[in-house]
Amino acid sequence: MPEISPFGTWRSDITTDLITQGAVSLGQVGVDGDDIYWTELRSWEAGRTVLVRQNAKGERVDMTPTPMNVRSRVHEYGGLCFVTGNGGAWFVNGADNRIYRADGAGAASPLTRKGDASFADLILDEGRERLIAVREDFSGNGESSNSIVAVGFDGTVTVLAEGADFYAFPRLSPDGADLAWIEWRHPNMPWDGSELRLAAFDAAGKLTDPVTIAGGMRESVFQPGWSPGGELYYVSDRSGFWNLYRAGEPERHYAMDAECGLPLWQFGMCTYAFLDEGRAVLTYAVDGEWKLGILDLGSGSLEPVESDYVSFAWMIAHGGAVWFVGGLADAPDQLVEWRPSANAWTVLRRSSDTDLDPASISKAETICFPTQEGRHAYAYFYPPANAGFQAPEGERPPLIVKGHGGPTGQSSNALALKIQYWTSRGFAVVDVNYGGSTGYGRDYRQRLDGNWGVVDVEDCVNAARFLADQGMVDGDRMAITGGSAGGFTVLSALTFHDVFKAGCSAYGIGDLEALTRDTHKFESRYLDRLVGEWPEQADLYRRRSPIHHTELLSCPVIFLQGADDKVVPPNQAESMVAALKEKGLPVAYLLFDGEGHGFRRAENVCRALEAELSFYAQVFGFDPADEIKPVRIENL
């Protein structure tokens, strides 16, 4: 029989060690003949990302020895930083930003020279004995410069395309004659407006007479790709949804009221892959829920595919097989090989081999709730779940409201052990896809235009109120947590509303003016659309910034910050902490050396979770079952 114990005090098998030790974050996937490649972020190896190869016999080898870290600095968020071919792989090493060649037989050898540039979105131009990549050059005195370059196998770097502020998705036609790519300019982010460009190579391997195929300042283009027969496809949101198109005369639109695109935070994000000349595997979101299907490119008919997966990342196809990193609602992520002709599914790698008790897993429940101006918003609700415990009769659980980062992003209903950490201890969690989130169409995404710090906050507040009014949570014990842009939502909710009794801001934003002045190139004009033009609307920036309204704060806050964060520097958190200390409000602050924007090292991931638990325990007045180091809260 379950033990009777108050919410928050339950013993749980989902420990911080379980989350970090032995668990990996599965990333980019590649194929070369019968060999499969993928990346693993290993928190127990100081948070480095390793390139792994598996052959047809199932034998695995790490291609990148310690301390090499497969990671790119381009746009700070990187992505797609290896490419396979010729029995090995080329990859970007995060420590020195150089491209290296690895064949698994010995030490990796450098291809590019040391310098102030980083590379991403690598593809192989085998016929010309070179790679093609996006380069970001930090050597100038002002803003970094971006371009598409060719990197010869001798290390020579040649610029192919330049002049735009940003580039992504260089994609070579099957015959090697043409290159497609997307580019965009300030103040746009790629999901606001971008252009699909196409150019042919001359005899010297340079691009000639580029033309614009699609896109513009108000149309977002995503993932250009070539079919095996040499036809160019891409995703555009001109219809109101990110849909697949085929370029040419006549152009073909595969119309559906569903999202087939993603916000391009990292290079290489993808939603489709070609099975053969006539079919493509497609992932698409209907009201935020991701599905899988096979699209007949001739008839336009879509055949839904039944599977247990609720998310699909880094998808590629080759030789009639498909590989992707799949998320499940009740088990850790998996690297999957799927052969549609036989409907055969093979799990090549699990992000964690831990067997979890199904009765102790909280599955996401989709909720749609009313919010401001007669609109509705969406969230995933996770009730407490632990097979060994139940709460005293009549007690309602404390609630943690989670706001995702971005803010242009989306919460997933795939299993997240960091959410289960809370639900298995007796907390309820609601993960809010506030207005501005992706997965619901362009109109929903644009709700945040000019309204960051308003719409996202109102939706998080209304999600909490909805659950409290339904009797599903304790309205007197509601906290809000979030990282990066989600941290700004936290601080804004605590400053301008009085619904929450505590908050946790992880590398969050307290001062929008400081963010505009200090952040990196990729996001340097992001707030033009989310808030207003800077400095013309400086007053609005100050009105929206929690740092200027600390007199309205009245509840405890914990701040978690990386010392090396270039996206949201530590001075953001430290200014807020100083203001709260001066006001006499309870406040805790943890600064993690060696961490950037997000925590990667196992010991820091563990400490951050345990500190947040200790913080809630002290604020809400319960004794956690875990033996953890209490966090120091000043002014408590």
Q: Which of 618, 593, 585, 43 is nearest to 610 (CA)?
A: 618
Q: Which of 547, 546, 528 is nearest to 538 (CA)?
A: 528
Q: What is the CATH code for 356-620?
A: 3.40.50.1820
Asked whether 473 and 399 are in contact (CB, 8 A), the reply is yes
Cis peptide before 170 (omega within 30 of 0): no
Domain positions in the chain: 16-263, 270-351, 356-620
Q: Which of 274, 307, 276, 266 is nearest to 289 (CA)?
A: 307
Residue 182 in tokens: 């997307």
Asked whether 242 and 220 are in contact (CB, 8 A), the reply is yes
**Cβ neighbours of residue 495 closer than 8 Å, sequence gap 6 or more:** 546, 549, 550, 552, 553
Count the helix, strand and coil residues of the chain and give each as a percent rounded to the nearest 5.
Answer: 20, 35, 45
Alpha-carbon gap, residue 352 to 31, rounded angstroms: 22
Asked whether 58 and 110 are in contact (CB, 8 A), the reply is no
Q: Which of 357, 351, 270 is nearest to 317 (CA)?
A: 270
Helix and strand numbers, DSSP H then E, in the chain: 10, 38
What is the mean pLDDT of each successive set of 10 residues along the chain, which is 636 residues long?
A: 95 91 90 96 90 95 94 93 96 95 88 93 97 94 94 97 98 98 97 98 97 98 97 98 96 97 97 97 97 98 97 96 97 96 96 90 97 97 97 97 94 95 98 97 97 97 98 97 94 96 94 87 95 96 94 93 87 89 93 89 92 96 93 94
Handedness of CA 546, 548, 552, 553 (dihedral sign): positive
Q: Does domain 16-263 have CATH number 2.120.10.30?
A: yes
The total of other beta-carbon atoms located within 10 Å of residue 635's CB is 13
- Note the pTM of the prediction, 2 decimals: 0.93
376-382 and 428-433 strand pairing: antiparallel
**Cβ neighbours of residue 482 closer than 8 Å, sequence gap 6 or more:** 402, 403, 404, 405, 488, 489, 490, 504, 505, 506, 508
Asked whether 320 and 341 are in contact (CB, 8 A), the reply is yes
Residue 621 in tokens: 């007045």
Q: Which of 163, 158, 175, 51 is nearest to 104 (CA)?
A: 51
Alpha-carbon gap, residue 417 to 15, rounded angstroms: 9
Cis peptide before 556 (omega within 30 of 0): no
In degrees, rounded to 5, the angle at the alpha carbon of residue 450 between the alpha carbons of residues 449 and 452 is 85
pLDDT score at 569: 84
pLDDT score at 453: 96
In order of 385, 399, 474, the CA distances from 7 in angstroms are 10, 10, 10
Strand order in the sheet with 587-592: 365-370, 376-382, 428-433, 399-403, 478-483, 502-506, 557-562, 587-592
Q: Alpha helices of 399-557 — where are they, by DSSP H?
A: 417-423, 442-445, 455-469, 485-496, 512-518, 526-530, 538-544
Asked whether 214 and 236 are in contact (CB, 8 A), the reply is yes
Alpha-carbon gap, residue 522 to 267, rounded angstroms: 13
Asked whether 30 and 37 are in contact (CB, 8 A), the reply is yes
